[in-house]
Amino acid sequence: MPWPILRILSSLESVTRVSGINDPNEILQRIGRAIRELRTEAGLSQEALADASSIDRSHLGRIERGERNLSVLNLARIARALNLSGSGLLEIAAV
């Protein structure tokens, strides 16, 4: 009988990771477009928003393009830097 952790790990093989590639409802793209539109309306560069959000600039770029599944913490950081709540950002993104 395998160790319990091995059973858990083998069950995770069937779990599908969410990324920009596996997002049939385009949720990540909608959030990313909303972030980019809000950033440009605020007159912020990608680097300025990344700094204000404590997120790496290249990571923010991938989020804006819908290529990364952002965490709730990063969503909150970005929203705060844009003077929004996390729920307000999701509402604008129509998620």
**How far is the C-alpha of 95 from the C-alpha of 89, rounded, in Å?**
9
Task: Give per-residue pLDDT as tens, 72-82.
Answer: 999 999 999 99
Spatial CB neighbours of 94, under 8 Å, sequence gap ≥ 6 = 30, 34
Spatial CB neighbours of 72, under 8 Å, sequence gap ≥ 6 = 86
Q: Helix, strand or coil for residue 19?
A: coil
Task: Give per-residue pLDDT as tens, 4-53.
Answer: 555 555 555 555 555 556 778 899 999 999 999 999 999 999 999 999 99
Contact 82, 39 (CB under 8 A): yes
The domain limits of the chain are 45-95
| CATH topology assigned to domain 45-95 | 434 Repressor (Amino-terminal Domain) (1.10.260)
